[in-house]
Amino acid sequence: GDPLPRPPQPRVFTVANQKGGVGKTTTTVNLAVALAVHGLNVLVIDLDPQGNASTALGAEHGSGTPSSYELILGDIEPAEAIQRATASENLHVVPATIDLAGAEIELVMLEGREHKLKQVLSSPQIQRRGFDYIFIDCPPSLGLLTLNAMVAATEVLIPIQCEYYALEGVGQLLNNIELVRAHLNPRLSISTILLTMYDARTKLAEQVANEVRGHFGEVVLRTVIPRSVKVSEAPGYGMSVIEYDAGSRGAMSYLDAGREIANRVRDTVRSSRG
Ligand code: ADP
Ligand code: MG
C-alpha cells in the first residue's frame, strides 16, 4: 500500500486504561508492528511488570535483563535496554521484567519521580535514534508508572472493550489525565480511542460503540478491532497477529488502525496550515 507519512515530530503514545483485559497490550504491539512494517521507526516501552508486550514482540525479558525497570530508575543507559523486535528491523522494544513490580514503591522515594521516563525519552541516546512513534504499554492501574507514561507522552490512546461496563473507570482515567495536563504535562491530549474486541453478532457491541462515539466524537478511530481468535492466539507464539496471520481480520484491522493514526497527522498538519 501507500507509504505512511512520517510525523514532523516524534509521536509518543501512552496506551492507558486502568481496567485490565481491554486490549492495551494487544493494541500497543499490533499498532507498533503495523507502523513499523510501513517503514516507520517505532519503539515500544513495556511498562507493565507482566511483560506481555515484550513476549509478543519476541524480546528477552527474564528477571535481570536490562529493562524499563533499570531505565526508569536511571541505573542504565537507554541503549543497554533497547532490543530489536522480531517483527521488523524498524521496531525496537524496551522490555519489562518482573523486577518492575517493585518500581512503583522505589519511585516514591526519588526526587522528580513522575518525570523519570520523560527524562529518559529526552536523552540524546533516544533522540539520536529518530523514532517516529513511541508506544508506552501501561499496567492496569493509575499508579506512578502510568503517571510517568502520561508525563512522557504527547498523546493518550485509550482502548475500550465493546462489552458491558465498557466505560466503567473511564471517568476516573479522564480526571487523572486532566490533572496531569493541569500540573505536569500541558502538551498531553487524548488523541485516540480504539474500540476493541468488537463482536458484530451482538447488539451490545454496537450499542457500546455508538455510546462511545456519541461521547468522544472524532477521537474515536473509524476502524474497530473485531474479537478474533487469531488475535488472542498470536502472543502464545511470541508474535503480533500481523506476523501470525497477516490476512486475518484482526491483522487487517490493526493495519487499518495504524494507517488511520498515521494519516491523522497529515490531516492535522493540512488543516492547521489552512
Ligand atoms: P490489557 O493489556 O488491557 O490487559 P490485553 O491486550 O492483554 O489487555 O488483552 C486481554 C486478553 O484479550 C488477552 O488474552 C488478549 O489476547 C485478548 N484479546 C485482545 N484483543 C482481542 C481481540 N481483538 N480478539 C480476541 N481476543 C483479544
Ligand atoms: Mg496489558
* Residue pLDDT, tens place only, 35-52: 999 999 999 999 999 999
State residue 2's pLDDT score. Answer: 72
Ligand 1 site-directed mutation target among 232, 240, 245, 254, most atoms within 8 Å of CB = 232
For residue 1, being part of any structural domain is answered with no
The ligand placed nearest to the CA atom of residue 29 is: 1
Domain range for 147 is: 11-272
The phi, psi pair for 135, rounded to 5°, reads -115, 130
For ligand 1, atom 16: residue with the closest CA: 232
3-state secondary structure of 19: coil
Asked if residues 10 and 57 have their Cβ atoms less than 8 Å apart, the reply is: no
Ligand 1 lining (C-beta closer than 6 Å) = 20-26, 52, 140, 196-197, 225, 227-228, 231-232, 235, 250
Grid coordinates given for 274 = 489552512
State residue 215's pLDDT score. Answer: 92
Distance CA(261)–CA(14), nearest Å, equals 14
For residue 3, being part of any structural domain is answered with no
**pLDDT tens digits, 136-177:** 999 999 999 999 999 999 999 999 999 888 888 899 999 999
State residue 3's pLDDT score. Answer: 84
Asked if residues 242 and 251 have their Cβ atoms less than 8 Å apart, the reply is: yes
State residue 274's pLDDT score. Answer: 34
State residue 167's pLDDT score. Answer: 87
The ligand placed nearest to the CA atom of residue 27 is: 1
For residue 97, being part of any structural domain is answered with yes
Number of independent structural domains in the chain: 1
The phi, psi pair for 15, rounded to 5°, reads -100, 105
For residue 6, being part of any structural domain is answered with no
Distance CA(156)–CA(34), nearest Å, equals 18
For residue 249, being part of any structural domain is answered with yes
> What's the complex ipTM?
0.99
Sequential pLDDT tens for the chain (274 residues) = 578 999 999 999 999 999 999 999 999 999 999 999 999 999 999 999 999 999 999 999 999 999 999 999 999 999 999 999 999 999 999 999 999 999 999 999 999 999 999 999 999 999 999 999 999 999 999 999 999 999 999 999 999 999 888 888 899 999 999 999 999 999 999 999 999 999 999 999 999 999 999 999 999 999 999 999 999 999 999 999 999 999 999 999 999 999 999 999 766 555 544 3
CA of 46 to the centre of ligand 2 (A): 9
For ligand 1, atom 15: residue with the closest CA: 232
Residue 146 sits in a domain whose CATH number is 3.40.50.300
For residue 219, being part of any structural domain is answered with yes
